[in-house]
Amino acid sequence: MAEGQKTIEIEVLRYHPENDTEPHAQVFEIPFTDDMSVLQGVQYIKDHLDGSLSFRWSCRMAICGSCGMMINGVPSLSCQTFLRDYYPARVRVEALAHFPIERDLVVNMEGFIEKLESIQPYIIPREARTLSEGEYLQTPEQLGAYEQFSSCINCLLCYAACPQFGLNSRFVGPAALALLHRYNADSRDGGKAERMELVNSEDGVFNCTAVGYCSEVCPKHVDPANAVNQNKTNSAIDYFLRFLAPKGGAR
Amino acid sequence: MKPTLKRSNAPIFWALFGAGGMLSALIGPMLVFITGLAVPLGLLLPADTMSYAHVLAFARNWAGKAFILAVIALFLWHAAHRIFHSLHDVGVHAGTGAKLVCYGLALVGTVIAAWALLAVGF
């Protein structure tokens, strides 16, 4: 390190399952410049101080959703969180809350991936069309009904923010429910009845207590809390009116 | 392949919670003002606004009965739901037990209110 170089301390939660019985903190001192993101900070540690530090990252521009971490206890994308906002104080970096730690800052995403599959995150066509019949047309209003909820990058910050997911990991959770709503609210989609089974289930929307922290930490302004609470209404309507519906509604 | 999903019965309690929340937000503060401040302190309203005869007549009218029942029952269900979920948040995951106590109290309160409203006659 050059003489007179400003430095900042980063406290990292370490966990190597082959050696450690439980996670523990380790402090690194790194050179500081005011254009450095927290991600660049941990990259410096890996490149110069301890090559065994593990973390996920890819795009460095809040698009890929890989580099989510708890930064001073707040679920954040480390690529768009800057060290200058903490300097000269020490910054604490930990794996995302509410997920099992695989290694250092890497969490096990398996549970989330299963949930993502369970919501059938693709358009199930309302009516089959042949190529010669052309594309499915949509009005700006129809696009507006779901567009916001299609911006999710699966970064899991909302799960780390959700106290109810923390208490019950079976809860489908904010991102998956927002994406579920994205497809249910799409005028081209006909899969709503199937997806509502999940919304209505004991793992569904009623686990949410409208805390709203998920929407606050979302780096893409998806507002999952809005999607979840719209579906509480949808689910309640479905619950009370299912006997009146022509096909008896969802099971 | 897909595990069978159990439908949650939460909509019943959520609907009662929502109705109670809406009602308490709309008329709760005014009820507190009328029954707790204005009448006891003799502000704005006639001194006998809540005299026994007036209140009895109110409770004997079918619309009065409906209003009293809605206020008592829905406020109770709202409170029960909130307490049940707050217990979960602070780490009491008693499940069925907590559910029975919270919603059971609301149910008991509702039944007592309904019985009393019928007992005062028409």
ipTM of the modeled complex = 0.77
- Which of A163, A167, A236 has its CB closest to that of B15? A236
pLDDT over 90 (residue B114): yes
The pLDDT tens digits for B51-88 are: 999 999 999 999 999 999 999 999 999 999 999 988 88
Domain termination site, one of A107, A124, A154: A107
Secondary structure element (H or E) that encloses residue B4, with its range: none
Q: Which domain holds residue A56?
A: 7-107
Average pLDDT (A132-152) is 94
Domain termination site, one of A73, A92, A107: A107
d(CA B91, CA B87) in angstroms, rounded, equals 6
| A202 plus A145 within the same structural domain | yes
Q: Which chain A residue shows the shortest CA-CA distance from B85?
A: A209
Q: Find the range with the poorest average confidence among A16-30, A193-207, B79-93.
A: B79-93
Average pLDDT (A74-95) is 97
The answer to whether the Cα torsion of A73, A74, A76, A78 is positive or negative is: negative
Residue A117 is assigned to a structural domain of this protein: yes
Domain termination site, one of A72, A107, A142: A107
d(CA B99, CA B83) in angstroms, rounded, equals 10
Residue A35 is assigned to a structural domain of this protein: yes
pLDDT over 70 (residue B103): yes
The pLDDT tens digits for A219-245 are: 999 999 999 999 999 999 999 988 776
Backbone angles phi, psi at A77, to 5 degrees: -80, 125
Which residues from chain B sit within 8 angstroms of residue A198, using beta carbons? 5
d(CA A22, CA A20) in angstroms, rounded, equals 5
| A87 plus A164 within the same structural domain | no
What does the pLDDT read at residue B49?
86
Residue A139 is assigned to a structural domain of this protein: yes
- With an 8 Å Cβ cutoff, is B1 touching chain A? no
- With an 8 Å Cβ cutoff, is B10 touching chain A? yes
pLDDT over 90 (residue A143): yes
Q: Find the range with the poorest average confidence among A9-18, A28-37, A202-211, B38-47.
A: B38-47
| A87 plus A205 within the same structural domain | no
Q: Which chain A residue shows the shortest CA-CA distance from B88?
A: A167
| A61 plus A146 within the same structural domain | no
- With an 8 Å Cβ cutoff, is A236 touching chain B? yes
- With an 8 Å Cβ cutoff, is A26 touching chain B? no
Please answer yes or no on whether B10 and A163 come within 8 Å at the CB atom: no
Domains of chain B (ranges, CATH numbers)? 15-119 (1.20.1300.10)
User: What average pLDDT is seen over chain A?
Assistant: 94
**B78 CA to centre of own chain:** 7
pLDDT over 80 (residue B94): no
The pLDDT tens digits for B18-27 are: 999 999 999 9
Please answer yes or no on whether A202 and B89 come within 8 Å at the CB atom: no
- With an 8 Å Cβ cutoff, is B7 touching chain A? yes
Overall domain count for chain A? 2
Cβ contacts of B47 within 8 Å, gap of 6 or more:
none
Please give the single-letter amino acid code of residue A25.
A
- What CATH number does the domain containing A191 carry? 1.10.1060.10
- What CATH number does the domain containing A93 carry? 3.10.20.30
- Which of B5, B14, B15 has its CB closest to that of A197? B5
Torsion, Cα B83 B89 B90 B95, to 10 degrees, reads 70
Residue A1 is assigned to a structural domain of this protein: no
Q: How sure is the predictor about A251, in pLDDT bands with cuts at 50, 70 and 90?
A: very low
pLDDT over 70 (residue A247): no
What does the pLDDT read at residue B1?
43
| A192 plus A136 within the same structural domain | yes
- With an 8 Å Cβ cutoff, is B92 touching chain A? no
Helical H runs in chain A? 38-44, 110-118, 140-144, 157-161, 163-167, 174-184, 192-200, 213-217, 224-241
**Residue B33 DSSP class:** I
Burial classification of residue A5, based on how many CB atoms lie within 10 Å of its CB (0-12 exposed, 13-18 middle, 19 or more buried)? exposed
Residue A7 β-bridge partners: A31
The pLDDT tens digits for A104-128 are: 999 999 999 999 999 999 999 988 8
- Which of A198, A235, A251 has its CB closest to that of B11? A235
Exposed e or buried b for every residue in B25-61, given b needs 16+ CB within 10 A? eeeeeeeeebeeebbeeeeeeeeeeeeeeeeeeebee
Cβ contacts of B12 within 8 Å, gap of 6 or more:
A239
Residue A248 is assigned to a structural domain of this protein: no
- Which of A197, A202, A236 has its CB closest to that of B14? A236
| A120 plus A232 within the same structural domain | yes
Which residues from chain A sit within 8 angstroms of residue B15, using beta carbons? 236, 240
Beta strands A91-94 and A7-14: pairing type?
Answer: parallel
